[in-house]
A = this chain, B = another copy of it.
């Protein structure tokens, strides 16, 4: 079961200030918050399903599914036995810090270690709004093309880690992983890459090990 929350945009003075407040609050509560971004159909929900199954014995997990409309993703995730809330953006193409704060309040942070937010499917708008996350994760899928860092540079600049998903169909789509990596490195030399097939579960173990290490490092910091 999951709740549906209408998190329409309010006019807020300063998204960055709101995000900083949120980040401090999450740090104090020791909740590691991951903002998951990517195009419609890039495989966010499928990847999350695998990742949640891999982490849920070790961490208490909450998930916010943000969508313009519908609750199909919350439906899918709720079957994993973790705490889930569906957020509706009221037509908006992104979540901002204020909407995220209301989503986190609706989800409830007590008793949680890790929270994922699946942002609206979009390579443009979500990149523009800091939502207070400890980790910015993005998914680019092979059928979208290896030139996407050229066209949507901000998303690749603000993310810390990138899954290149659907690598099983890379030959069909003439997607060159090295070319894509080269484009991304020019924008963001620190980006971490994991080529995966979320549907087949390939490559996700390496990402999950990296993520657990990242969470543990974060938790040890004062």
Query: How far is A166 from B143 in the complex, measured between Cα atoms in Å?
Result: 9
Query: Given the known A-B contacts A123-B121, A143-B143, are A150 and B72 also in contact in the complex, defined by CB atoms under 8 Å?
Result: yes
Copies of this chain, tallied across the complex: 2
Chain B residue, CB-CB nearest to A125: B93
Query: Given the known A-B contacts A69-B153, A154-B91, A172-B169, are A41 and B144 also in contact in the complex, defined by CB atoms under 8 Å?
Result: yes
Contact: A151 with B39, CB < 8 Å? Answer: no
Contact: A151 with B121, CB < 8 Å? Answer: yes
Query: How far is A169 from B150 in the complex, measured between Cα atoms in Å?
Result: 25
Q: Answer whether residue A21 sits at the interface, using C-beta atoms and an 8 A cutoff.
A: no
Residues of chain A touching chain B, judged by Cβ–Cβ distance below 8 Å, are 39-41, 67-70, 72-73, 91-93, 120-125, 128, 141, 143-145, 147-148, 150-154, 166, 169, 172
Q: List 14 A-B contacts (CB under 8 A).
A: A40-B145, A40-B148, A40-B152, A67-B151, A68-B154, A69-B150, A70-B153, A72-B150, A91-B124, A93-B125, A121-B151, A141-B143, A143-B144, A143-B166
